Amino acid sequence: MKKIILSFFFSIALFIPLKAAAAHQDFSKLNELYRAENYEEAYKGYAAGLAKDRNNPKLWYNAGNALYRMNRLGDAVYAYSKSFLLNPRDGDVRFNLEYVMRQTGQAFVPEGTPKLLYVMFYLFSEAELKAIVIVLFWITMLAACFCVMTQGKARRFSLRVMIIAFALLIANGGWAWARHYSQFSSSAAVITKPGGLKLFSGPGENFRECATAPEGRIVRILSGTDEKYYEIGLTAEGISGWALRNGVKKL
């Protein structure tokens, strides 16, 4: 039983270096442009790379640096947030995201929340949490099968593995669910329009203007049923409204 579980984990671990290697491509020429303060050309190069690889956290981080230098704060918040979601354990990404959020009047760590606890909450990316849930599910199933098929010590060991794996599965499932409704999630978005974005009481300018969402603000997508407008929510203010899609970028 131990050998089967270890082999299962080892087969999954084989894929990790491939993903890590993909994130360390050579962008030295673009970085030279950035160091030479040619931020616009550097950003164009990073954007071209992202068009081919949207899941590269290093590219998103570099793009965020260039965008910040170009004073495009909304797009910088978006780029840093994308990098953070893909690689939340990177201290540089977290530091820059926290800094640019302060520049746009936001707090990376919600008020009253211990920073260490918040960092631990984002210890893994959403993709990693989903992978852990899948692995724990199959360990639970395999252990249950061995528990039925074996006797004696092997059965007792299988039962313990099944109970532990199932408990961890429930805990990680709850963690993944909580992350889905957190500040940085697939249902979140960033206001990227310079100067902010008008919010209307309905999907169209013929409705009453009810608020303004500042540039760089991280918001929640409440509805995407309209072709031109998103219904978004500003959590801190407790308000919602409809905003043009072209001024909002979903994470």
Place of tokens 């797009």: 75
Beta partners for residue 8, in sequence order: none
Percent of the chain with pLDDT over 90: 63
Q: Specify if 10 maps to a domain.
A: no
Q: Evaluate if residue 188 carries a pLDDT over 80.
A: yes
Q: Evaluate if residue 7 carries a pLDDT over 50.
A: no
Alpha-carbon gap, residue 222 to 202, rounded angstroms: 13
Number of domains the chain is built from: 3
147 and 176 part of one domain? yes
Contact 57, 49 (CB under 8 A): no
Instruction: Give the per-residue pLDDT at 180.
Output: 79
Pairing mode, if any, of strands 188-191 and 218-223? antiparallel
Give residue 166's domain range.
126-180
116 and 131 part of one domain? no
If DSSP codes are grouped into helix, strand and coil, which group holds residue 249? strand
Alpha-carbon gap, residue 215 to 243, rounded angstroms: 12
pLDDT per residue over 68-93, tens digit each?
Answer: 999 999 999 999 999 999 999 999 99
pTM here?
Answer: 0.82
25 and 113 part of one domain? yes
Greatest mean pLDDT range, 24-28, 127-131, 206-210:
206-210
Q: Evaluate if residue 150 carries a pLDDT over 70.
A: yes
Q: Specify if 174 maps to a domain.
A: yes
pLDDT per residue over 220-240, tens digit each?
Answer: 999 989 999 999 999 878 899
Instruction: Give the per-residue pLDDT at 15.
Output: 36
Instruction: Give the per-residue pLDDT at 26.
Output: 59
